[in-house]
Structure 1
Amino acid sequence: MIRGVVMPAPQAPLELREFERPALEPGAVLLETLASEVCGTDAHLWKGQLAGVPYPIIPGHVSVGRIAETNGARDVDGNALRDGQIVTFLDVYGTCGRCWYCTVAHATTRCPERKVYGVTLSSEDGLLGGWAEHIHLKPGVHIIPLPEELDWRAFMAGGCGMPTALHAVTLAEIAFGDTVVVQGAGPVGLCAAVLAQLRGAGQVIVIGGPAIRLEAARRFGADAVIDIAETTPEERLERVRERTGGRGADVTIEATGVPSAVPEGMRLTRDAGRYVVVGQYTDVGTATFNPHLDLNQKHLDVRGCWGSDVGHVYRSVRVMARYAAQFEWTDLITREYGLDEAQEALEDVAAQRVVKALIVP
């Protein structure tokens, strides 16, 4: 029997249950879980803030593991997978490849058939989340081996934050010398701050909190940090303008999940600048802005960014391997938790007591 953590319903205590070892279909993989991330999405799931979640679920949508068994599966490069390989996988499963969004819009993150491990797949259907000793990777799951030079803990330090941030930073089209403001100092924001540097930003300013996350932003190269607990929106705007000749940021990336951050971010961005909203993954309320002053007159380019696809994960693996010497990725990991500590891990993430928390079965 295989142990896994189950979230039975919103606000309900997590439970440790046992599951039978699955029989593998052709093209499937049984993954021995090395680690699975605890991220803000899991806190939202626990609070019931995502629609269409088929509780009970096994949480954990970004994971890394060692192949325990494979039935003819191949990786994204087309190579046959073998027992013992350390791999990660795109948490999105079942994208059809045939609908209008997949074929015409080339926006697979909006495919109506899209399912997500640890989020929209029920535990009643098996080991389809990362907070378990093993994960059943169904045929068609996109599997990406980790290169030998990339330690699995280093990859998990980025977790889902890295491919999500990579998507946002790509949409931001950061140019050499740009001033980039990142709203939010969680994993997505911290990864965005690093990637902005790699894209050639002239300076990176991180706005957020608490102190443990702002210190991580400093260690990972932010030129300035602004604590939201010690400043007003007006003071934050003044601080940004002081560092940009009175104009504002060339690019601002919102990674907070707080609705009020969006109109503030629009005002932090210079006229004819770019604003990428990636943090509003769940519906936690509305915000208002002045469409004349904040958008139209500013000639502001606002871009929404939803999740990530296999290309973002694939590129994240390569970026983290290439720059492992420059960035001590594992410094982002605050604590590792066993399966029987999952409730504590979830509460620590929800309360922002950690930068990065991992479930390590």
Structure 2
Amino acid sequence: MRSVFVTGPGSVEVREIEKPEAGPRDVLLRMRASGICGSDHMYISVGGIPPNQGRTPLGHEPAGEIVEVGAEVTGFQVGDHVVIDTMAFTDGLLGSGGDQGGLNEYVVVRDAAPGRQLRVIPRDIPWEVAALNEPMAVALHAVNRLEPKTGDKIVIFGAGPIGLGALLGAKSKGAGHVVVVDLQQERLETALRIGADAVINSATEDVKERLLELHGRSVGGFLRDARPDTDGYIDA
């Protein structure tokens, strides 16, 4: 089967390797889609991740289809569509320094258990949408850590995939007014389309002054300078 490897600083190759075999407690997946993360660029620039530097398989934003289920595995069946927790693999992080990557044609999940490494999803979800599971989980984790309350005024710095996911997450939690800040106007227009209450282009606008206009001035405290009455910030 084919697999994508980092083979040195700035070097990536598609290699032919042996297809993994599933044991009685394992599940074999056929990879159907995988995102490419900013960290993949970093892995490539440094030549991979120890101990697999020079031979690091890539891909940690995948979605796949179960093609084989071990005799001792319960909760899965052939044909299931699944999203993957790449940090829960028992043989190393998938696509982040372990021996397998989501840009393989096939991946074996050792000691597979429902809710641990895999979660079955509806079959009508497109593969490219399913592969957004990992970055959207990162975005939602940021929102959960912020713990926004209903009606809160939130600012998100960055309108890339994580920032846009955080926008969706904040609105779903009841945030009252969400501002997205970025340098790229096209991304800001996307933020408006999916629910941002306002956007700020930090390449052309004064962020602090715009936030004072949008969220008002905070009352109280010991700061001499005016500061926006914003309840929470996310750096995405």
Q: Contact conserved, 1:31 with 1:137, CA < 8 A, in 2?
A: yes
Q: Indicate the structure whose relative CO is greater, using CA pairs within 8 Å and at least 6 residues apart.
A: 1
Q: Distance in 2 between matches of 1:176 and 1:49?
A: 45
2:174 paired with 1:175: no
The equivalent of 1:240 in structure 2 is: 211
Identity %: 33
Larger Rg: 2
Q: Contact conserved, 2:180 with 2:196, CA < 8 A, in 1?
A: yes
Q: Distance in 1 between matches of 2:109 and 2:35?
A: 17
Aligned length: 222
Larger helix proportion of the pair: 1
Q: Distance in 1 between matches of 2:51 and 2:195?
A: 37
Give the secondary-structure state (helix, strand or coil) at the position aligned to 2:8. coil
Amino acid at match of 2:107: I
Q: CA RMSD in A?
A: 2.2
Report Cα offsets for 1:313-361 as digits up to 9, x if no partner.
Answer: xxxxxxxxxxxxxxxxxxxxxxxxxxxxxxxxxxxxxxxxxxxxxxxxx
2:111 paired with 1:139: yes
The equivalent of 2:94 in structure 1 is: 117
The equivalent of 1:269 in structure 2 is: none
The equivalent of 2:233 in structure 1 is: 252
Change (3 A) 1:86 1:236: same
Give the secondary-structure state (helix, strand or coil) at the position aligned to 1:119. coil
Shift of 1:153: 2.8
Give the secondary-structure state (helix, strand or coil) at the position aligned to 1:93. coil
Give the secondary-structure state (helix, strand or coil) at the position aligned to 2:186. helix
Change (3 A) 1:218 1:50: farther
The equivalent of 1:32 in structure 2 is: 30
For structure 1, list consecutive stretches of 5 or more residues without a partner in the other structure. Answer: 96-113, 123-127, 256-361
The equivalent of 1:101 in structure 2 is: none
Q: Distance in 1 between matches of 2:149 and 2:44?
A: 39
Matches within 5 A, 1:1-361: 2-12=1-11, 14-48=12-46, 52=50, 54-55=52-53, 56-72=55-71, 74=73, 79-94=74-89, 115-122=92-99, 128-140=100-112, 142-148=117-123, 150-156=125-131, 158-231=132-205, 235-247=206-218, 248=228, 249-255=230-236
Report Cα offsets for 1:252-291 as digits up to 9, x if no partner.
Answer: 0111xxxxxxxxxxxxxxxxxxxxxxxxxxxxxxxxxxxx
Amino acid at match of 2:233: T
Report Cα offsets for 1:40-98 as digits up to 9, x if no partner.
Answer: 11112122298646221121112111111121465xxxx52111111111000357xxx
TM-score after normalising by structure 1: 0.57
Amino acid at match of 1:252: Y
Shift of 1:9: 2.2
For structure 2, list consecutive stretches of 5 or more residues without a partner in the other structure. Answer: 219-227
Give the secondary-structure state (helix, strand or coil) at the position aligned to 1:34. strand
The equivalent of 1:279 in structure 2 is: none
Amino acid at match of 1:81: F
